[in-house]
Amino acid sequence: MAVLAALASVSAEPAAKEAAGGLSLFGRLVGPEGRPVVKRFYGISIAVPLGKMVDRKAVPPFASVVGQTDAQGAFSAAFDMTDLPPRCLVVVPRAGWARVDVGAAAGPGAALGEVKLRPLVPVRGVVRRRATGEPVAALAIDLSAAPGEPQVPVLRVITKEGISDPRGVFHYDLPEGDYGLRLFDERWILCAPPTIHCREGYPLTEVQVQVARAPLLRCTVLSVSGRPIAAGTTAQFQVLQLAAEGQCRTTFSRAQVAPEGAVSWNSRTLGRARVWVAVAHEGCALSDELSLDDGKEVEWRARLLPCPPVSTFESGYDAITVTAARMEIDETTAASGSRSLRVTFPSPPTVWELRVIPGEMCVESGWVLEFDYKASRLLPVNVYVCKRRGGSWQEIGFMSPDAPGTPATVGVISEVVADGRWHHARFGLHAALTAHGLLPDATSTEGWLVSFASPRTRGGAPLQLGGDEERTFWLDNVRLGLPDG
């Protein structure tokens, strides 16, 4: 989880009760025994509604502030937001915690009154390498609360919590609740991390955590002509893991190319995988299947193509990846060749995505998005293009005529013909983005993501579709690049 503001910026007095254009929470902390908590560091976190969008960009799901109480135990915390959260979490190391219902307080400041802390739950665990059983020292184990709940404020600079010692032992004092474990050390990967169930009065003393040494990937990136990419060029990498529901994206990296086109980095993924490589205005490449094992070094050469290869699905999923849906190779139907991709997604409101290319690509002059599709019933799907990871997304219309949807922002591919037969669709992507002022010039290195996805409201939430049955459609010959012929 994200590390909070540095303590150097924390005043010995509470923050101002009015946050300019934002939200301020304030009150007075007392310990479990009823005495004011005086001159003590504290952390306060709030949860942000899932899927919240501002200017069509996703807002991080939580925010935290570190402060110090005054001589009377008073505290306050200012957040750069205007919506009042339903609750907040207060943690004072070695003193206690409180989960507070903020309620319907009006105005930019919410008075929480006297907040009485409850005892923290002691947690002790050991980190070991799965392959050898040896303890692993100096690892920072982080926590993750349930979605929609305030995360535990990170106070590691004060407490040293969650950092393993030479025997691999780490400790936490935690609020009551259920927590997942996370690891943000590029050298190591968590293996099947346990869930910690903290209950007041029941210390946890035997939490076992297993880790694997992250595989080291070494890639030589070659241009379309076969020469090494120039040193200093930025390349992006996306590791694609083969999973039961298809092929999913895992770790994403950017790296500067070294002399002779060399790039190396630690993978956050174990098992069977492929790696997508892309360089702005140079091209992209998709590796063969790689075996990423504990501590293994993997080397390969990636010769770039000027545009993504056409996804025909004759030898697998190609560059297509999936999130919150299922895809599988169908050997019984195809627009051409012998195979196509069958995509199944849930009907109840959920955000699912089928990405045409795993990572960002510059959309070059003349590029189109074209594909063959087959559907036998009402199809509520849009195509989305997004400028960089976490950037603002734009809709391209691709819906059954009667399906609910949001207005297209950069054009319409076609209305879906749901007659159980194969049809071809083509959309001038570069021309549409240029016409809407989204591609400033031909030298721009801004990357774009292109996805089939569930239709969303302007706030980013999935539309209500009705019914609870799954829906299926088929794709073949998916192309992003210059038009065929």
pLDDT tier for residue 454 given thresholds of 50, 70 and 90: confident
Q: What is the mean pLDDT of residues 271-276?
A: 94
How much is the pLDDT for 308? 92
> CA-CA distances (angstroms) from residue 190 to 57, 82, 124, 230, 262?
30, 36, 17, 35, 28
Q: Which whole number is the average pLDDT over 98-114?
A: 71
pLDDT band per the 50, 70, 90 thresholds, residue 378: confident
User: What are the residue ranges of CATH 2.60.40.1120 in the chain?
Assistant: 1-208, 216-303
Residue 402: pLDDT band (50, 70, 90) is: low
User: What's the pLDDT score for residue 152?
Assistant: 82
DSSP sequence for 349-387:
S---EEESSSS-B---TT-EEEEEEE-SS----EEEEEE
Task: Give the CATH fold of the 321-481 domain.
Answer: Jelly Rolls (2.60.120)
**Mean pLDDT, residues 315-328 taken together:** 92
Neighbours of 245 (CB within 10 A): 13
Contact 378, 402 (CB under 8 A): yes
More confident residue, 400 or 179: 179
Mean pLDDT of the chain, nearest integer:
84
Per-residue model confidence (pLDDT) at position 2:
34
The label of the residue with tokens 């594909």 reads 371
Q: Say how far apart CA 194 and CA 229 lie, in whole Å.
A: 42
Confidence of residue 15 (pLDDT cuts 50, 70, 90): very low
Q: Percentage of residues in the chain with pLDDT exceeding 70? A: 82
Q: What one-character DSSP code corresponds to residue 432? A: H
* Model pLDDT for residues 130-174, shown as the tens digit of each residue: 999 999 999 998 888 876 677 787 676 667 788 999 999 999 999
Please state which of the ranges 168-177, 181-190, 337-346, 432-441 shows the lowest mean pLDDT: 432-441
Class of the domain covering 1-208: mainly beta
What's the full length of the chain, in residues? 485
CA 318 to chain CA mean position, Å? 22
Mean pLDDT, rounded, for 235-262: 90
Q: How far is CA 239 from CA 157, 260, 277, 334, 441, in A?
A: 33, 22, 9, 28, 30
User: Please, are residues 76 and 25 in contact by the beta-carbon 8 Å criterion?
Assistant: yes
Share of the chain residues as helix, strand and coil, in percent rounded to the nearest 5 = 5, 45, 50
CB of 461 within 8 A of CB of 49?
no
The answer on pLDDT for 458 being more than 70 is no
Class of domain 216-303: mainly beta
Q: What is the predicted pLDDT for the residue at 462?
A: 65
| Best CA proximity match to 36, nearest among 77, 70, 78 | 70
Question: Locate tokens 């960009």: which residue?
Answer: 57
Q: For residue 371, is pLDDT > 80?
A: yes
Residue ranges of the chain assigned to CATH 2.60.120.260: 321-481
- Environment class of residue 307 by beta-carbon count within 10 Å: exposed (0-12), middle (13-18) or buried (19+)? middle
